[in-house]
Amino acid sequence: MKPDFSFEEAARARGYKRIAGVDEVGRGPLAGPVTAAAVVLDPTRIPEGLNDSKQLSKKKRQALYDQLIEVADVSIAHASVEEIDELNILRASHLAMMRALRGLKTPPDYALIDGRMLPRDMNLPAEGIIKGDTLSQSISAASIMAKICRDCVMLSLAQQHPGYGWETNMGYGSKSHMEALRNLGPTPHHRRSFKPVHNML
């Protein structure tokens, strides 16, 4: 089953006009920020092939990213490692989502959020959709934008801190990343509140 526009159409039938899909990437890694995207699709110009970013090849993700930049209102935002350690990863993810919503060119009047829990300080009507990136085209678009942008951040950090394999593991706790963490120690971009990193300090 592919994502469709039914959640968006249901919201439009209730009178909402600008429906933003919101998703985040990077809750699980040991290093790097958590990244969120908000996307408002034009119902008349929805790119073909939208899906959960994890279901797409790197080439297809990039092609959809390029299309979305042209035809949709897109906003990307991050929550830093310091904010993750201070707030916890869920609160930091929600902070990134709210920043992404606030960054849209025109404010939305409704939001479709991937997952069960909504940010505490939502200031507009919203609904959480479990596995929303596989159900809603707006959320799947947000998952693609967030994934590509966070990967770019990790590629840049990999050049600054070689040896951890961030260019391939994107900060997740792969075997090679764990070995580097033991041998080289944590960087300023490691999440000190995460147990594998905390235990080494």
Q: Give me the pLDDT at residue 194, please.
A: 96
Q: Which residues pair with 127 in a beta bridge?
A: 112
Q: Give me the pLDDT at residue 121, please.
A: 82
- What is the reported pTM? 0.95
Q: Is 167 inside a domain boundary?
A: no
Q: Is 166 inside a domain boundary?
A: no
Total number of domains constituting the chain? 1
Q: Give me the pLDDT at residue 32, please.
A: 98
Helix 58-71, helix 137-160: angle, nearest 10: 110
- CATH number, domain of 40, equals 3.30.420.10
Domain that holds residue 23: 6-149
Binding residues: 23-24, 114
Sign for the CA dihedral angle at 52, 141, 78, 10 comes to negative
According to DSSP, residue 41 is labeled -
In this structure, the strands spanning 126-129 and 110-114 are parallel
Averages of pLDDT over runs of 10 residues in the chain (201 residues) are 95 98 98 98 97 95 98 98 98 97 97 94 94 98 98 98 97 96 96 92 77
Binding residues for a divalent metal cation: 23-24, 114
